[in-house]
Each structure stands twice: as structure tokens, then as C-alpha cells.
Amino acid sequence: MMFSSFGDQARTFMLSRQNAQLKTEMDRLSLELSSGRVADTSKAVRGDFTGLSEIEEAAASLGAYKTANSEAALFVENAQSVLGFIQGLTGEAAPALLMASNTNNNELVDATTSDIKQKFESVVSALNTQTTGRALFSGRATDTAALASVDDMLADLTPLLATETTAAGALAVIDSWFDDAGGGFETIGYTGSQTTLSPFKIGPGREAHFEITAADPGIRGVLKGLAIAALISEGTMSAFASERQILLQSAGEALLSNENEISGLRAATGTAEAHIDEMRVQNETEIHALDLARTRVLGADPYTAATELEAVQIQLETLYTVTARLSRLNLVDFLR
């Protein structure tokens, strides 16, 4: 027969409450040990959240800049790749055109100009590249391709050359189309914005600028040289071999003369890349400093947490042992 009294019930209630308290304490210490952070934030800051709020706001701001910095870095890196591709391609095309200009071999001229037309298409395609849905060389019109297709540009140029019988006349028409304000290139060829891209916000009060568009004079000069060769491949000056050779030479020289311009654009892009990377490092350093500051406020000492957790486990085991022994008491044991 088990013996029970009001005293037993009170003791059972007390043991149950102690058990719940110890379990709660063990859960808290386990959480602190695994997360490295205190469970009671209010206690850690002594009820004053001002300092912690400032840390969290600064961290959130730098986190946003970190994302913007990464997007800017990717954008400029891809633009650099495009410019490098153009420089490499024109470096191959210029000598080929100059060589073709010194021969009367129609098959060589046809093969060379056909290849250059394909290169023209590759350059236009590269300049129409998008990164994360934003056009690289369209200025502020990032939702629009930078250039019309090669076929569209040639279709507008070809009729203008129909009556030209000299290289000088043809070059004057082509120069006007590419270089004149409000000319064919600006109204048909270039489909981006005349306003350059807005600066990238890469840090508190810091910006990175990328102001290159497909309408830049250096890029425009390369496109002109490629267009001359592409027009020859389409039959321009086919009846005037000597004039055609002059055009081929002019195309090659146009590519060569703009090589330094492309190098300058790549250098400017490299400067932007370096500035963005510099801010990335600075932002990461500040984020790390804020993490340390947050840890000083909210960090749980792992040694202390482990020691306290072990002590609570021992208390809980002791409580289970006592409870088990008390539950086995019967009348005979009680009367002894």
C-alpha cells in the first residue's frame, strides 16, 4: 500500500517544478552553447537596445552595399571581357584587311571580307551583352540592346553608296553615317541611351563610375572599320577593284587607329574594377568589425555555458534519482 498525504503532494509539485526549471535552464544553455549567443538578449543589453540597434542597422546597410558591390563587380568585369574580346578580334582583323588591300586576288578578298563581316556580327553581339538583365553598353537604357543588327545597319548604309564610284566618295558617306551628330549611327545603329549609366553605389558615400557606351568614339571607330569590310563583302565597289583596295586599306587602318582608344577604355574599366574591389574589402572589414561588436554584446562564453550545462545535467540527474526513490516509499518504509 502506497502512503500519500498533503505533504507528499506538495513535495511532488515542488519536484515537478524543479524538474521543469532545470529542463528550461538546460535548453537555454544548450542553445547558447550551439549558437554562441546568449538566449536572453534583453538581459545581455540590460534593457538598453540602443547600441545593439545601431550595430544591426549598420550591418544591414553594409549588407545591402555588399550586394550592390557584387553586382557592380560582375557588371564591370563582363564589360572588361567584352572590350578585351573586341581588342583581340580587331587585332586579328586589321592585318588581314591590310594584306587583302595589297592583292588583286578576288577569292582572297571575298574570303577576308566575309570573315570580317562575321567578326562584325560577333562584335555587335558582344556589345549587346547583358548582365543580370542589364545591357552593358546601352548607357542608362539598360533594358535596351546597345546596337541594331549588322543587317539593319548595312541595309541603311548600302543604298547611300549605290551611286558612289570612288573610294573617297564611299568613305565620305560612311564617315558621315558613323560620325555625324544625328547621322545614321546615332539614329539607327546605336539604340541605347545618350545618357551614361548611373554610378554604382558601392559603399557609404562611395560610387563607381562606368560611362562607356557602344557610341563611344573608340568603339564607333572599330565598328566603322568592320562595316567597311562588311559592305565590300556585300558587293560595294565590286566593279572598281582599285577603289575597293583603297577601302580595304581604310578599313584596316580604322581598326589600327582605334586600338589605343580601346586600350584606354579597358584601362578606365580596370580603374573602376579596382575601386569596386577596394570598397569590397573595406565593406567586408567593417562587417567583420560589426560582427565582433555584436559578439561582445550577445556572445555567450562557451566555457561558462558548458560548465553550467554540466552542472544542470548533474542537478537534473540527482533530481530524477531522488524522485525515483521517493516514489517507491510505502507505509512500511515510512514507519521505519
How confident is the chain (336 residues) per 10-residue block, as mean pLDDT? 51 65 64 59 59 71 83 96 96 95 90 96 98 95 97 96 92 96 96 95 89 97 97 82 92 95 96 93 81 66 63 69 63 46
pLDDT for the residue numbered 27: 66
Residue with cell 500519500: 4
* Residues 274 and 73 sit within 8 Å (Cβ to Cβ): no
d(C-alpha 127, C-alpha 98), whole Å: 25
* Residues 147 and 199 sit within 8 Å (Cβ to Cβ): no
Residue of 269, 276, 280, 285 lying closest to 72 (CA atoms): 276
d(C-alpha 242, C-alpha 167), whole Å: 9
pLDDT for the residue numbered 302: 64
Write out the three cell numbers for 213: 557606351
* Residues 117 and 251 sit within 8 Å (Cβ to Cβ): no
Residue with cell 572588361: 80
* Residues 214 and 127 sit within 8 Å (Cβ to Cβ): yes
What does DSSP assign to residue 165?
-
* Residue 197, SS3 per DSSP: coil
pLDDT for the residue numbered 332: 47
* Residues 231 and 241 sit within 8 Å (Cβ to Cβ): no
pLDDT for the residue numbered 331: 44
* Residue 2, SS3 per DSSP: strand
Q: How far is CA 196 from the centre of its chain?
A: 19
What type of residue sits at position 277? D
* Residues 136 and 80 sit within 8 Å (Cβ to Cβ): no
d(C-alpha 236, C-alpha 189), whole Å: 19
* Residues 116 and 252 sit within 8 Å (Cβ to Cβ): no
What does DSSP assign to residue 166?
S
Characterise 208 by phi-psi region: left (phi > 0), alpha (psi -120 to 50), beta (else). Answer: beta
Q: Residue 290's CB: how many other CB atoms inside 10 A?
A: 20
Q: What is the pTM of this model?
A: 0.74
Q: Can you list the alpha helix ranges (DSSP code H) found in the chain?
A: 6-35, 41-44, 50-100, 106-127, 150-157, 167-179, 184, 217-233, 241-257, 259-298, 302-327, 331-335
Q: For the purposes of burial, counting CB atoms within 10 Å of the CB of 39, is it exposed (0-12), middle (13-18) or buried (19 or more)?
A: middle
- Residue 149's alpha-carbon distances to 124, 189, 212, in angstroms, are 7, 8, 20
pLDDT for the residue numbered 19: 65
